[in-house]
Amino acid sequence: MVDKSSPLFDFAPYLGQREEVIGLIREFASHHAFRSATVEELALEEDFYRRPLRPEDLEFLQFKKPVPAERVSRLPALATQRLLLSLNEVGVARLPRLDVEGEFARFDAFYGERNQVLGARIRPFLEHYGFAFLGNEAQRGEAATTYVERLGSVIDDEKAFWAEIFALLVRNNYLVEGLRFIMIQRWSLAPSRRVAVERAVASGYFNSVMGDDRPDLATQTTDALLARVAEFVGVTRREHSYWQFYLPTSMAKSNLLYALGSRPDRAFALLGAAFVAEAEAIAFSAALAEACPHLVSPGVTHADATAAAERLVSRFARALVQMESRFGGEGIFRTGQGVAVAEKMAERARWDLGEQLKWLSALERFVQFAEKIDKRIADECPDIDRETFVEPRDMCSTTHVHNDHRLVVIRSRGEAPGAPQMWFWGNLGMRHEMKEGDKVLIPDGRLHGSTVVCEECTYDQPIIPEEWIEELLRGLPARVTAAA
Ligand SMILES: [Fe+2]
């Protein structure tokens, strides 16, 4: 029997609750811990209770159509995943730090009943809204071997992606900076992925699989390797100090595990998804071992990583045999659903991260594009849609994305000709200085923020048609932008 009628996520039944839940979302986000960031808060001091959500965006986000697969990097997805990671982790204990003023009050406020209850009320709506695109790729009646092959494909696809990304970063002379951004996605969010699975394990979710055949998100060799690389690129603070640099799809991977782990009826799906999460971790370690052997040694070798991948696939096959013998085809289907949603999530995350790194690693090129586009605006459509901002010193925008392609064009002159007006960034440690007349192109969905560094900065953001961007990118040599 083929049955496509039972997706894990389906937003349709929640649409009717929209107005009520949007009110609750705004209420949740109005908590002091979730206010927008100040200029000093670009990276946080290991402050688990501080998560800038840009609550001002929630005044206009509509939450009408669930996030589609091709828009996982846009503002509704970013806001949803930031909200979900915050509300999921009001159930994760981080005890207060010593000698930090007001820490106990913030500890109490973050974990208080208000956040617990509001979080629980908005969670189903946000999960179905943010994950409906993961669809229904698994079907009843598919053999266990299908899912074993799919897990193998995830490892191959991830390894191929990382190989291309590392080659791109080397070509664009952006390896250390690019790795820094990557480690924020992989290393800083690893504890969130792990706790989502481990507390479900403690609640008996994987009891039908023998201990040695379960997914393992805490292998020590992988941790040691990642810790070394993270330290090398300056990602040394604990979660969530680099909160502003999480891509929506990176948070979505943690939130997906939390979503599946929050309800025992999703135990089968969590099993499949956790195997995919481990596959991603193994593939990343293998790619690191190949790309940066000097950082890896002494530790995981490429051969070790390849063997780990083979062991994982065998372990998954054994787990499925156990599930099938106990639960038959329904057990395979439900576990396969978890593989399928996590597989699709992994693919979308590769795309999102690839686009961010293509942009960051070739920023000078996007400055040149901005010059060309600005001339074209002057020649062809001087009245193009644009927003103009006038901002005082230290005005800082919490990192965000736009749903369209935009230029930033600095109009004001500042105290003296050539004086810096704004710092613009899209990565930890990045500070792209902009003065009068400077421009940069921000493609839609690219994470960025800025700070005004003069008395008053005036800048325009013309909104650029998709066709213009396509024309420009067609003119690029493939090796500059190539990624998976
Ligand atoms: Fe912006």
Q: 81: closest CA among 120, 53, 43?
A: 53
Determine the pLDDT at residue 188. Answer: 95
Element (H, E) at 463: strand 456-464
Q: Looking at the predicted structure, is the pLDDT value of residue 3 above 60?
A: no
Least confident of 137-146, 180-189, 244-253: 137-146
**Measured distance CA(92)–CA(196) in Å, rounded:** 9
Domain ends where: 105, 133, 161? 133
Among 77-86, 184-193, 391-400, the minimum mean pLDDT is found in: 391-400
Q: Would you give the DSSP letter of residue 362?
A: T
Angle, helix 267-291 to helix 190-202, in steps of 10 degrees: 150
Confidence band, pLDDT 50/70/90 cuts, at residue 300: low
CB 222 within 8 A of CB 281: yes
Last residue of a domain, one of 310, 330, 361: 361
The verdict on 123 and 165 lying in the same domain is no
Residue 404 CA, ligand 1 centroid: distance in Å: 10
**pLDDT, tens digit (0-9, with 9 covering 90-100), for 255-277:** 999 999 999 999 999 999 999 99
For residue 221, the model assigns a pLDDT of 56
Predicted confidence (pLDDT) per residue in 199-234, tens digit: 999 999 999 999 999 999 876 556 778 888 999 999
- 398: CA distance to ligand 1 center in Å? 9
- Residue 204, Ramachandran bin (φ over 0: left; ψ between -120 and 50: alpha; else beta): left
Question: So what's the pLDDT on residue 293?
Answer: 76
Distance 352 CA to ligand 1 centre (A): 17
d(CA 83, CA 94): 18
Residue 94 pLDDT > 90, yes or no? yes
Domain check: are 158 and 279 in the same one? yes
- Kindly report the pTM of this predicted structure: 0.95
Quick: pLDDT tens for 375-388. 999 999 999 999 99
For residues 401 and 421, state if they share a domain. Answer: yes
Please give the distance, rounded to the nearest whole angstrom, from the Cα atom of residue 1 to the centre of ligand 1: 49
Predicted local confidence at residue 256, as pLDDT: 98
The proportion of the chain whose per-residue pLDDT surpasses 90, expressed as a percent, equals: 83
Looking at the fold, whether 148 and 108 belong to one and the same domain comes out as no
Question: In this structure, is residue 373 part of a structural domain?
Answer: yes
C-alpha 340: how far from its chain's center?
Answer: 19
In 3D space, the residue among 309, 342, 362 whose CA is nearest the CA of residue 160 turns out to be: 309
Q: What is the mean pLDDT of the chain?
A: 92
Same domain, 73 and 144: no
Same domain, 277 and 182: yes
Do 383 and 439 lie in a common domain?
yes
Check if the beta carbon of residue 407 is closer than 8 Å to that of residue 464: yes
| Omega before 240 within 30 of 0, i.e. cis | yes
What is the 25 CA–ligand 1 centroid distance (Å)? 23
Does 454 share its domain with 421?
yes
Rounded to the nearest whole angstrom, what is the distance from the C-alpha of residue 22 to the centroid of ligand 1? 24
Q: What are phi and psi of 458, to 5 degrees?
A: -110, 130
Cα gap 298→370, rounded to integer Å: 45
Facing residues of 458 across strands?
Answer: 390
How far does residue 405's CA lie from ligand 1's centre (Å)? 10
Whole-angstrom CA distances from 28 to 59, 63, 179 are 13, 15, 34
Judge whether residue 1 has pLDDT over 90: no
Q: How far apart are CA 289 and CA 174, in angstroms?
A: 18
Whose tokens are 């005004």? That residue is: 452
Give the distance from CA 238 to its chain's centroid: 17
Indicate whether 448 pLDDT > 50: yes
100-114 pLDDT, tens digit per residue, is: 999 999 999 999 999
Measured in Å, residue 400 CA sits from the centre of ligand 1 at 6
405-410, strands of its sheet edge to edge: 386-392, 456-464, 405-410, 439-442
Query: Looking at the structure, do residues 120 and 89 belong to the same domain, yes or no?
Result: yes
Sequence length of the chain is 484
**CA 351 to centroid of ligand 1, rounded, Å:** 21
CATH number of the domain where residue 288 is located: 1.20.910
> What are the CA-CA distances from residue 377 to residues 188, 262, 409, 444 (Å)?
41, 50, 12, 18
Alpha-carbon distance of 459 to 455, in angstroms, equals 13
CA of 469 to the centre of ligand 1 (A): 17
The answer to whether 460 and 407 are in contact (CB under 8 A) is yes
Domain count, the chain: 3
**What domain range includes position 460?**
364-481
CA of 402 to the centre of ligand 1 (A): 6
80, 22: one domain: yes
